[in-house]
Structure 1
């Protein structure tokens, strides 16, 4: 009998909303969380806007030691993890720790803490040779992205397969896909998975300023993230985390779990083309979609909703539109496809898991979230991108796609097939 992975719990820390219910209310209302940067002084930057999380770690239950030890993105994860475990009702103490796994994604890891510590050790850059004696004892945790999964494993007592996935902006999709594969391959019975990021810092923002990938609509941050719109001019940086609890389907049924959906198919492909460029025809993303559908034993016509990568760059939006047309054929023009980045920005490695949480909620509620700010569609992005207003419909099979620098193209299929 084929082992299958199912979602039994989700937790979300997102711009504009902490908690899955508040997150979904915001998305379905079409509210945007993009604003002027407040986490540092952005004067002199080309892009001075972002989608920030209003977050007080102490108010969300973290103690002083955790706050001192954990970088901001790990704090997000701890809060999302607590919500996901409570939502799932998974009695972790009833599982062997050797059958409990962790698969977390992040693109840039501890950027926030690394920059803060460098500023301290170099006296704001005045000293070429830094003073290590002034460093935090937790600095090493910021250096290695593996610390994210290590922290989660410690929190849940996992001794099974533990991994950190860092594949750029597809990290959040890939982490969940690999978590499902660990269950399918009988390596674990429960896997805590998801992704987190806190890249709203001077060095990370400067990286995207340099290549002019981010929006410079600084005078109108609320409407700056405009996927598929003719007037878009780049993505808006975001931050946040989402955690999903995956369980082996038959065991979840036996314990009477509330099974939200099945992680039915996953695939990723590289384009071997360019670090930041994309082939217009979208062959590799299309291949990821068709492979994920094949693994889910679903056809293109089964897809009820496509959660788009929809970053709001001309190159990506047109590439993705063509890829979905190539993969879904005539059905591409019948299926709604929207981008929640229009509301919560692009949180790099975290966004794939945040989007999967939105997909689960779309299935739960029978609602497709809108693409906010889409007032003047790009004629070359001519699919049904659900402009401005959420739409009610039954969502039994949902496809989420992602595209990342380095040529990564990923797809995850969720369905009710349990």
Structure 2
């Protein structure tokens, strides 16, 4: 690692349920509004769970051409639009050497929606075991290869340095930010456009989560269906979206007088090697990831001012996470605000960690903790300060975001307020 190289966020772009753009995103979160509703992207009538947090996304209105809208899966469309916003926000385009510029994107499901629809097309809606490739899209190869999304962004970012994809399930959005930050710290790049995108609200995804009963069946009241840490919670709400950041080496940002949202101070990832879908109540691996991330950031637990929880609204995850925070933060866990924005925008799988990181950076900027919506009846086993219903003014110098994913992945990311001389 190059001694003294620090990494900051100088640009943010968002496509989320409830609005396109970081300003609309923050307005939704700070107002405590929910963007969960009955699925409209396809006929969900046959399914157990018919609720999702969809993005009201019009490719043409977002600046994409008809050709781009046809060529790119929805996941890539989100990524391109969010990246354009982040680059414009940062003003870094053309301000770094191409070989010192990279792209790292995260995704759990890649081009699920396009693959789902293309399979239905070539198999005659699943009737034919022997499919007819003649009817497939000419872009089918791009749908199969998640790296196509990063390659498209590399063209936009003029990046000829490190370019790649991180896919670790629901922790992808945190893990890719940590990886990108390490590439800058180690001297492999000065600027990396990074984030995560997923658009997987499709029949195959809904069917998979129906099979294990991980998603809520609260179909009659979709706007209040996502209830993290609430006694009445009964599963998560599927979502979609994207958040993209410009990460920059601190001195590089200072030389061009860039505005800084936050510093990426620490990160860590662990795996529990326990179960593909199950979690033990003790939260040991998540706690260890939190401790390691804080150690990297050189922070004591008492310095954490806000925790953006994974808060998926499944009973085992909420218990697991609550115990992990108590184990890693000690008594301080009871003294700091904790909230889950999945209560408002659902669980967008690999993208959610990036969206939660954006929420943390904006919370630092505005000194406001977004609330946990729909939290009316606290679960006695989840006894931390989960900021129910209404946002709270609160100065945040250090924010911690945690993520948990199938396969036992547990990750943590620490953001600090901008260094004084770069604010």
Q: TM-score, normalised by structure 2?
A: 0.98
The structure 1 residue matched to 2:6, chosen from 4, 26, 42, is 4
SS at match of 2:34: coil
SS at match of 2:46: coil
What is the aligned partner in structure 2 of residue 102 from structure 1? 103
Matched ranges for 1:63-78 at <5 A = 63-78=65-80
How far residue 103 of structure 1 moved from its aligned partner, in angstroms, is 1.0
How far residue 190 of structure 1 moved from its aligned partner, in angstroms, is 0.1
> After alignment, is 326-335 or 56-65 more displaced?
56-65
* Cα-to-partner distance string for 1:157-177 (whole Å, 9 max, x where unaligned): 211111101000000000111
Equivalent-residue separation in structure 1 for 2:168 and 2:47 (angstroms) = 26
How far residue 324 of structure 1 moved from its aligned partner, in angstroms, is 0.3
What is the aligned partner in structure 1 of residue 385 from structure 2? 384
Note if 1:79 corresponds to 2:81: yes
* Cα-to-partner distance string for 1:65-116 (whole Å, 9 max, x where unaligned): 21111100110111111111111111x3231111101111000101100011
Equivalent-residue separation in structure 2 for 1:195 and 1:280 (angstroms) = 28
For structure 1, list consecutive stretches of 5 or more residues without a partner in the other structure: none
Equivalent-residue separation in structure 2 for 1:27 and 1:127 (angstroms) = 45
Equivalent-residue separation in structure 1 for 2:29 and 2:94 (angstroms) = 35
How far residue 154 of structure 1 moved from its aligned partner, in angstroms, is 2.0
SS at match of 1:93: coil
What is the aligned partner in structure 2 of residue 155 from structure 1? 156
* 8 A Cα contact 2:261 2:418, kept in partner: no
What is the aligned partner in structure 1 of residue 208 from structure 2? 207
Note if 1:243 corresponds to 2:244: yes
What is the aligned partner in structure 2 of residue 58 from structure 1? 60
What is the aligned partner in structure 2 of residue 47 from structure 1? 49
How far residue 388 of structure 1 moved from its aligned partner, in angstroms, is 0.3
Q: How large is the RMSD of aligned CA atoms in angstroms?
A: 0.8
* Cα-to-partner distance string for 1:188-225 (whole Å, 9 max, x where unaligned): 00000000001100001101000000000000001100
Aligned length: 417
SS at match of 1:264: strand
* Cα-to-partner distance string for 1:392-415 (whole Å, 9 max, x where unaligned): 011110000000000000000000
Note if 1:126 corresponds to 2:127: yes
How far residue 152 of structure 1 moved from its aligned partner, in angstroms, is 1.2
* Cα-to-partner distance string for 1:369-389 (whole Å, 9 max, x where unaligned): 000000001000000000000
What is the aligned partner in structure 2 of residue 318 from structure 1? 319
Equivalent-residue separation in structure 2 for 1:125 and 1:333 (angstroms) = 52
**Hey, which bits of structure 1, 4+ residues long, moved more than 3 A?**
none
Note if 1:113 corresponds to 2:114: yes
For structure 2, list consecutive stretches of 5 or more residues without a partner in the other structure: none
SS at match of 2:387: coil
How far residue 417 of structure 1 moved from its aligned partner, in angstroms, is 5.5
Note if 1:218 corresponds to 2:222: no
Equivalent-residue separation in structure 1 for 2:282 and 2:103 (angstroms) = 35
Equivalent-residue separation in structure 2 for 1:94 and 1:232 (angstroms) = 48
What is the aligned partner in structure 2 of residue 174 from structure 1? 175
Q: TM-score, normalised by structure 1?
A: 0.99
SS at match of 1:265: strand
* 8 A Cα contact 2:260 2:418, kept in partner: no
